[in-house]
């Protein structure tokens, strides 16, 4: 168990910098998830912590020791790989115990540790099997077990659930979370799946194009995204982001399509009347209303996705408006494409962003 | 069923197919059978045509004579000495080739060092140079190293193998990078990774290559002919050649046949024993 700290970690391939300085202090036992679209550098960052990839500048500390130039084996970490990376010619028990064997642990002690880890992961009946005789979920658990028996300073997960089917993924997600709580080992977890990220993380690093856009707890990021990228990436379906401008009185925004939405009175000084902004509203922060109710505006529905409990209505502010927006409505509602629904946005859940930089206002 | 319609649809078709197979097998096997039969007759019987097609009574005597060193034309060296020589050479070549080619393929695939690709191409280019092309310089080097008439002289020049290196390189490249990384995280250094993971995964490749290379080494002709002068160091193939004279009467045909039978046996044995590995390798792909 240990803390983990990154200070302005950068990575360049030749002259191209791909990680532009990431800093974070991970507390002992904390579960930090790095999330971002593919190619954002999240796996590279994890591999740098693991020592599989050299860092170009900055400092990485594990348990207070600078590990910049240490080999992976000297860093006291365990890693779970996307494709499990089990040794195909070894039994489950040998796979799990290989790290301990190299560390020179006596056979009996090794077997005991492997047995205990296997018990936690329900792998006891499979200890003598080869990986090819296991299902995807079982292989995944063996990969977890291999990390677990080592009792390392930190766990590193590189998209460990992306090869599993949806149902199994949800199960394993819960199991990983539970397991991490039980053993209390500091964990760094990479995923592109924002649901996985939200559910697992104590804290979240949202990455985009080699930059950590925001580092905070999942709910803080959901409530106050730092910019339009984070706003669009976290939350499903994505937040609606619409061009708008502040009204003359400075107490509301006028959407390009017409309707005016009142703002709570907490506008910063820089946001004066007439300023153009981007207005963000999540699909779930609309309330259905009757026509003509104060603050309501019509949305012309052109497509409906029904999920059961909920449905997502895709619509436009006017029949010819360029921007589409998504509204969450109850699933049993009888919606017809072409007909308008009337909605009231939740005033406290509005987000304003600077149009040029995309930063939160 | 549909797929059964194609092959051996009718009884007569199957019989015809089997007849062809049996005929083919007989054509291939007959000369070998003939050799085996001839090795059990006396020289006189062999020289007086026609040669009987059933084994004769001289088997024990012939084999005893050959193994006891009764073959004058090769200086009375016994056949078991020849077999020993050839086994050492064939094993040396097969094992040496596998070790060297695995080591070089390991370096080329898993290590980053300057001129890595240049090294690879250098090895690759030697594929185009058969032994015969470089035989004079190689011979000169062997003379200067005083390796004429030694096992080292018989083995060393033949153990560098571009083909085997290429084969292992291709195989190593199919090993997922994650496996290497998992081993690194588990604490395995280069040597451990090679021994604990790469070697077991290569087992079937090694077995297949071993059979091919053993037979290659066993049947070497030109190089052993050049590099050995003493009868004691002959391989069995060279000895066979030396036993045969231009004059029929001067050639101990019965002993030549014995030697031929004994020369065939070890490669056949290797193939038969290693066949189980091939099948195993085909059935369970571990990757």
Q: Where are the domains of chain A?
A: 4-233, 244-353
pLDDT value of residue A296:
83
A-chain residues within 8 Å CB-CB of B196? Answer: 87, 98
Over residues B262-284, the mean pLDDT reads 79
- The count of other CB atoms within 10 Å of the CB of residue B272 is 9
Widest Cα–Cα separation across chain B: 75
What average pLDDT does chain B have?
Answer: 85
pLDDT digits (tens, 9 = 90+) for A140-187: 999 999 999 988 999 999 999 988 888 888 888 988 998 888 888 999
**In the predicted structure, residue B283 carries a pLDDT above the cut 60:** no
pLDDT value of residue B280:
65
CB of A99 less than 8 A from some CB of B:
yes
Cβ-proximal residues to A195 (8 Å cutoff; 6+ apart), any chain = A236
A-chain residues within 8 Å CB-CB of B176? Answer: 83, 85
A-chain residues within 8 Å CB-CB of B206? Answer: none
CB of A103 less than 8 A from some CB of B:
yes
Nearest to A88 among B184, B186, B201 (CB): B201
B46-54 contact pairs (CB < 8 A, 24+): B46/B253, B46/B254, B46/B257, B47/B248, B47/B249, B47/B253
**In the predicted structure, residue B3 carries a pLDDT above the cut 70:** no
Q: Which two tokens stand for residue A243?
A: 């061009």
CA–CA gap between residue A155 and residue A80 (Å, rounded): 8
**In the predicted structure, residue A333 carries a pLDDT above the cut 80:** yes
Higher pLDDT: B231 or A191? It is A191
Question: A212-221, A270-279, B126-135: lowest mean pLDDT where?
Answer: B126-135
Over residues A336-349, the mean pLDDT reads 86
Higher pLDDT: A180 or A268? It is A180
Closest CA to A188 of A11, A60, A21, A99: A60
Q: How many CA atoms lie within 13 A of A331 on its CB side?
A: 5
B88 forms beta bridges with none
Nearest to B188 among A79, A102, A132 (CB): A102
Q: Which two tokens stand for residue A55?
A: 């860092």
Best CATH choice for the domain A244-353 from the list 2.40.50.140, 3.90.1150.10, 3.40.50.300, 3.30.70.1150: 2.40.50.140
CA–CA gap between residue B264 and residue A131 (Å, rounded): 42
For chains A and B, CB pairs below 8 A equal 65
**In the predicted structure, residue A1 carries a pLDDT above the cut 70:** no
Using 50, 70 and 90 to split pLDDT, how confident is the model at B8? low
pLDDT value of residue B11:
85
pLDDT digits (tens, 9 = 90+) for B188-197: 889 999 999 9
What average pLDDT does chain A have?
Answer: 89
**In the predicted structure, residue B66 carries a pLDDT above the cut 60:** yes
Owner of token pair 């083909």: B163
Cβ-proximal residues to B141 (8 Å cutoff; 6+ apart), any chain = B157
Over residues A345-356, the mean pLDDT reads 89
**In the predicted structure, residue A60 carries a pLDDT above the cut 90:** yes
Using 50, 70 and 90 to split pLDDT, how confident is the model at A220? very high
Using 50, 70 and 90 to split pLDDT, how confident is the model at B1? very low
| Inter-residue contact A358 to A229 (CB < 8 Å) | yes
Q: Which two tokens stand for residue B215?
A: 């037979």
DSSP alpha helices (H): ranges in A24-91? 42-50
Using 50, 70 and 90 to split pLDDT, how confident is the model at B9? low
A-chain residues within 8 Å CB-CB of B187? Answer: 72-73, 99, 102-103
pLDDT value of residue B2:
46
Task: Report A:38-77 residues touching B (Cβ under 8 A).
Answer: 50-52, 71-73, 77
- Identify the CATH number of the domain defined by range A4-233: 3.40.50.300
Among positive and negative, which fits the CA dihedral B243, B245, B250, B251? positive
Closest CA to A148 of A196, A101, A180: A180
Closest CA to A242 of A325, A314, A350: A325
Using 50, 70 and 90 to split pLDDT, how confident is the model at B53? confident
B-chain residues within 8 Å CB-CB of A132? Answer: 284, 286
pLDDT digits (tens, 9 = 90+) for B17-38: 999 999 999 999 999 998 898 8
DSSP structural state of residue A187: E
CA–CA gap between residue B145 and residue B139 (Å, rounded): 10
| % of chain A surpassing 90 pLDDT | 46
pLDDT digits (tens, 9 = 90+) for A72-106: 888 989 999 998 899 999 999 999 999 999 999 99
Among positive and negative, which fits the CA dihedral A162, A167, A168, A171? positive
Q: Kindly provide the residue ranges of all beta strands, DSSP E only, lying in chain A, ordered along the sequence.
A: 4-13, 16-26, 31-35, 57-62, 65-66, 77-80, 154-158, 186-191, 203-208, 211-216, 240-246, 252-255, 260-262, 276-281, 286-288, 297-306, 310-316, 324-330, 340-345, 350-353
Please state the φ and ψ torsions of residue A227, each to the nearest 5 degrees.
-160, 180
Distance from CA of A170 to the nearest CA of B (A): 24
Whole-angstrom CA distances from A17 to A35, A41, A207, B72, B123 are: 19, 10, 15, 79, 36
**In the predicted structure, residue B16 carries a pLDDT above the cut 80:** yes
Q: Do A77 and B185 touch (CB under 8 A)?
A: yes
**In the predicted structure, residue B250 carries a pLDDT above the cut 90:** no
Is residue A23 classed as helix, strand or coil in its secondary structure? Answer: strand
- The count of other CB atoms within 10 Å of the CB of residue B183 is 25
- The count of other CB atoms within 10 Å of the CB of residue A231 is 27
- The count of other CB atoms within 10 Å of the CB of residue B3 is 6
pLDDT value of residue A213:
93
Distance from CA of B171 to the nearest CA of A (A): 15
Is residue A258 classed as helix, strand or coil in its secondary structure? Answer: coil
* Among chain A residues, CA nearest to B287: A88
First to last CA, chain B: 34
Q: Which two tokens stand for residue A95?
A: 């796979």
B-chain residues within 8 Å CB-CB of A81? Answer: 178, 181-182
pLDDT digits (tens, 9 = 90+) for B175-224: 999 999 999 999 888 999 999 999 999 988 888 888 889 999 999 888 99
* Chain CA centroid to CA A114, Å: 31
pLDDT digits (tens, 9 = 90+) for A96-137: 999 999 999 999 999 999 999 999 888 999 999 999 999 888
B-chain residues within 8 Å CB-CB of A190? Answer: none
CA dihedral A119, A122, A125, A127 (to 10 degrees): -70
**In the predicted structure, residue B127 carries a pLDDT above the cut 60:** yes
CA–CA gap between residue A259 and residue A300 (Å, rounded): 13
Question: A27-41, A232-246, B2-16, B100-114: lowest mean pLDDT where?
Answer: B2-16
Using 50, 70 and 90 to split pLDDT, how confident is the model at B279? low
Over residues B241-258, the mean pLDDT reads 81
pLDDT digits (tens, 9 = 90+) for A287-320: 888 777 777 888 888 888 888 889 999 988 876 6
Owner of token pair 């205990």: A116
Q: Do A72 and B184 touch (CB under 8 A)?
A: yes
pLDDT value of residue A270:
75
Nearest to B187 among A83, A89, A99 (CB): A99
* Among chain A residues, CA nearest to B177: A85
Is residue A323 classed as helix, strand or coil in its secondary structure? Answer: coil
Q: Which two tokens stand for residue B127?
A: 């594929």
pLDDT value of residue A219:
94
Nearest to A50 among B179, B185, B201 (CB): B185
| Inter-residue contact B38 to B253 (CB < 8 Å) | yes
B-chain residues within 8 Å CB-CB of A52? Answer: 181, 184-185
* Among chain A residues, CA nearest to B197: A87
């Amino acid at each position: 168990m240990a803390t983990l700290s990154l200070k302005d970690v950068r990575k360049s391939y030749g002259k191209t910098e791909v990680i532009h300085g990431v800093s974070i202090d991970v507390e002992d036992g904390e579960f930090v998830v790095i999330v971002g679209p593919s190619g954002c550098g999240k796996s590279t960052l994890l591999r740098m912590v693991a020592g599989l990839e050299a860092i170009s500048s900055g400092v990485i500390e594990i348990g207070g020791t600078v590990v910049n130039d240490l080999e992976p084996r000297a860093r006291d970490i365990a890693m779970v790989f996307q494709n499990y990376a089990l040794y195909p010619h070894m039994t489950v028990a040998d796979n799990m115990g290989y790290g301990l064997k190299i560390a020179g642990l006596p056979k009996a002690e090794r077997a005991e540790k492997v047995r205990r880890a296997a018990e936690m992961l329900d792998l006891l009946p499979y200890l003598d099997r080869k990986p090819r005789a296991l299902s995807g979920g079982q292989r995944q658990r063996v990969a977890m077990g291999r990390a677990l028996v080592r009792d390392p300073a930190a766990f590193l997960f590189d998209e460990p659930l992306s090869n599993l089917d949806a149902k199994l993924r949800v199960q394993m997600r819960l199991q990983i979370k539970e397991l991490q709580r039980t053993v209390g080992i500091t964990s760094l977890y990479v995923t592109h799946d924002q649901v996985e990220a939200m559910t697992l993380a104590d804290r979240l690093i949202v990455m985009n194009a080699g930059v950590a856009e925001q580092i905070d707890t999942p709910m803080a990021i959901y409530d106050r995204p730092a910019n339009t990228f984070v706003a669009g990436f976290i939350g499903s379906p994505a937040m609606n982001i619409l061009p708008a401008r502040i009204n003359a009185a400075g107490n509301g925004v006028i959407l390009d399509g017409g309707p005016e939405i009142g703002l709570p009175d907490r506008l910063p000084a820089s946001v004066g009347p007439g300023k153009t902004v981007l207005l963000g509203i999540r699909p779930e922060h609309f309330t259905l209303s009757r026509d003509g109710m104060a603050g309501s505006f019509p949305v012309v529905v052109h497509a409906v996705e029904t999920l059961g409990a909920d449905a997502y209505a895709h619509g436009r502010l006017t029949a010819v408006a360029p921007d589409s927006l998504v509204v969450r409505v109850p699933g049993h509602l009888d919606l017809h494409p072409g007909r308008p629904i009337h909605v009231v946005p939740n005033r406290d859940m509005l987000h304003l962003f600077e149009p040029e930089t995309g930063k939160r206002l | 069923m549909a797929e059964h319609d194609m092959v051996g649809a009718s009884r007569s078709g199957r019989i015809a197919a089997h007849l062809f197979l049996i005929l083919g097998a007989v054509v291939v096997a007959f000369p070998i059978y003939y050799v085996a039969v001839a090795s059990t007759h006396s020289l006189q019987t062999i020289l007086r045509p026609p040669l009987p097609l059933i084994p004769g009574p001289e088997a024990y005597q012939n084999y005893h004579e050959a193994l006891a060193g009764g073959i004058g034309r090769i200086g009375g060296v016994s056949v078991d000495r020849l077999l020993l020589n050839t086994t050492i050479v064939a094993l040396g070549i097969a094992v040496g080739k596998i070790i060297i080619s695995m080591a070089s393929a390991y370096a080329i695939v898993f290590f980053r060092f300057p001129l890595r690709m240049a090294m690879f191409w250098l090895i690759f280019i030697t594929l185009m140079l058969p032994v015969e092309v470089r035989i004079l310089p190689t011979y000169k080097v062997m003379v200067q190293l005083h390796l004429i008439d030694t096992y080292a002289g018989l083995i060393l020049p033949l153990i560098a193998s571009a083909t085997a290196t290429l084969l292992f390189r291709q195989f190593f490249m199919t090993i997922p990078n994650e496996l290497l990384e998992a081993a690194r995280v588990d604490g395995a250094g280069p040597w451990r990774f090679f021994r604990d993971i790469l070697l077991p995964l290569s087992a079937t490749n090694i077995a297949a290559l071993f059979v091919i290379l053993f037979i290659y080494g066993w049947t070497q002709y030109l190089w052993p002919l050049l590099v050995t002068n003493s009868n004691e160091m002959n391989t069995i193939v060279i000895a066979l050649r030396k036993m045969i004279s231009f004059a029929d009467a001067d050639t101990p045909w019965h002993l030549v046949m014995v030697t031929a039978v004994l020369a065939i046996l070890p490669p056949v044995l290797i193939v038969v024993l290693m066949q189980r590995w091939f099948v195993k390798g085909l059935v369970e792909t571990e990757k």
